[in-house]
């Protein structure tokens, strides 16, 4: 089904514009920037996944690497450790520092949530508390900056899989292409048993890709499939497909549109260790 104009302008993040959402973003922003700066070589999520596996870190899927680098929500400790290990050749000191940083953010968010069960009138107390939280995060940021700088400027062997494509191409990873920077959700999320399907659109790249999130809490022993295709023909040669085992969400490579042509997304998940497949009833299109 085609997305309406209102849906197209809705951000990918499900976070609402409340005082709590602002505090979350204030805490995540320097953390996200540090994670992205750490990947100075602009390694692809495929390369990061391989490096995390080589370092013995889990979870280490491409979706995990994408989720950590985007950092729309606070990633799990294990995912942060795997990502940092992947981009720093398993630098134990940096891994430990980022885990400490992540833990401090989680602690502050829990404390903030507990204190603000009953919001004060006028919101001034909330802003003062937010300022204190941001200051605390700034201290951690200052401690870790020197380590990040050292890791970034230290010469390393260039990974041959690093991409330097200036023009977006069909089949590229939307994260490493830069197209995810202005991404918006282009459909009303379609929910089926145990999953939600999203159509993601980048206005700058005129590119579309699909994303599936599990809502059943499963993942181990099962997989997610995302298919993005032009028009009404998923059998085309340039159809983009991703199959990710053991993850909570997955996304497909992107398709660069020609003008305003129709791009559609299908999604499915397996359950009960692959015994059953659940598919979205209708393709989601934009």
Question: Is residue 3 in some structural domain?
Answer: no
138 with 250, same domain: the answer is no
pLDDT per residue over 146-190, tens digit each? 555 555 555 544 444 444 445 889 999 888 788 888 889 988 877
191 with 87, same domain: the answer is no
17 with 149, same domain: the answer is yes
**pLDDT at 268 exceeding the cut of 60:** yes
Alpha carbons 218 and 235: distance in angstroms, whole number? 29
Question: Is residue 142 in some structural domain?
Answer: yes
170 Cβ partners below 8 Å, 6+ apart?
A: 207, 238, 240, 253, 254, 255, 256
HSE value, Cβ hemisphere, 13 Å, CA-based, for 159: 21
pLDDT per residue over 112-139, tens digit each? 655 544 444 444 434 444 455 455 555 5
279 with 182, same domain: the answer is yes
Strands 207-214 and 195-202: antiparallel
119 with 231, same domain: the answer is no
Q: Are 262 and 206 in contact, with CB atoms under 8 Å apart? A: no
Give the mean pLDDT of the chain.
77
Task: Output the CA torsion sign for 255, 281, 63, 180.
Answer: positive
| Residue 226 binned pLDDT confidence (cut-offs 50, 70, 90) | very high
Question: Is residue 195 in some structural domain?
Answer: yes
Question: Is residue 8 in some structural domain?
Answer: no
21 with 139, same domain: the answer is yes
Question: Is residue 85 in some structural domain?
Answer: yes
Number of independent structural domains in the chain: 2
User: Which residues pair with residue 195 across a beta bridge?
Assistant: 192, 214
| Residue 7 binned pLDDT confidence (cut-offs 50, 70, 90) | very low
144 with 217, same domain: the answer is no
130 with 27, same domain: the answer is yes
Q: What does the chain come to in residues?
A: 286
280 with 246, same domain: the answer is yes
pLDDT per residue over 39-67, tens digit each? 877 788 888 988 999 999 988 888 788 88
DSSP 175-222: HHHTGGGG-EE-SPPEEETTEEEEEEEETTTTEEEEEEEESSS--TT-
Alpha carbons 112 and 122: distance in angstroms, whole number? 17
Question: Is residue 159 in some structural domain?
Answer: no
Question: Is residue 56 in some structural domain?
Answer: yes
111 with 186, same domain: the answer is no
Alpha carbons 132 and 120: distance in angstroms, whole number? 17
Domain that holds residue 81: 13-153
Task: Assign residue 251 the CATH number of its domain.
Answer: 2.60.40
30 with 106, same domain: the answer is yes
281 with 202, same domain: the answer is yes
Alpha carbons 92 and 273: distance in angstroms, whole number? 34
Question: Is residue 158 in some structural domain?
Answer: no
Gap between the terminal Cα atoms of the chain:
7
């Amino acid at each position: 089904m085609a997305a309406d104009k209102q849906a197209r302008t809705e951000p990918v993040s499900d976070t609402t514009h409340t005082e709590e959402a602002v505090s979350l973003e204030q805490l995540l922003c320097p953390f996200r920037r540090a994670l992205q700066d750490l990947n100075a070589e602009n390694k692809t999520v495929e390369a990061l996944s391989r490096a995390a596996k080589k370092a013995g870190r889990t979870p280490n899927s491409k979706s995990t690497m994408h989720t950590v680098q985007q950092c729309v929500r606070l990633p799990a400790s294990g995912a942060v450790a795997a990502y940092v290990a992947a981009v720093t050749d398993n630098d134990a000191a940096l891994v430990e520092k980022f885990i400490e940083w992540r833990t401090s953010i989680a602690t502050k968010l829990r404390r903030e949530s507990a204190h603000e069960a009953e919001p004060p009138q006028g919101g001034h107390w909330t802003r003062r508390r937010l300022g204190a939280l941001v200051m605390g995060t700034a201290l951690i940021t200052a401690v870790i900056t020197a380590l990040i700088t050292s890791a970034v400027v230290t010469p390393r062997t260039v990974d041959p899989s690093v991409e330097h494509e200036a023009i977006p191409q069909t089949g590229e990873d939307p994260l490493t292409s830069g197209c995810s920077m202005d991404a918006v959700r282009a459909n009303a999320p379609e929910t089926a048993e145990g999953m939600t399907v999203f159509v993601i659109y980048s206005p700058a790249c005129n590119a579309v890709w699909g994303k599936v999130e599990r809502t059943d809490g499963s993942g181990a022993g099962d997989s997610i499939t995302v298919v993005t295709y032009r028009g009404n023909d998923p059998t085309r040669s340039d159809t983009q497909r991703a199959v990710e085992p053991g993850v909570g969400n997955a996304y497909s490579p992107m398709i660069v549109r020609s003008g305003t042509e129709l791009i559609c997304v299908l999604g499915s998940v397996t359950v009960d260790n692959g015994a059953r497949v659940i598919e979205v009833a209708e393709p989601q299109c934009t």
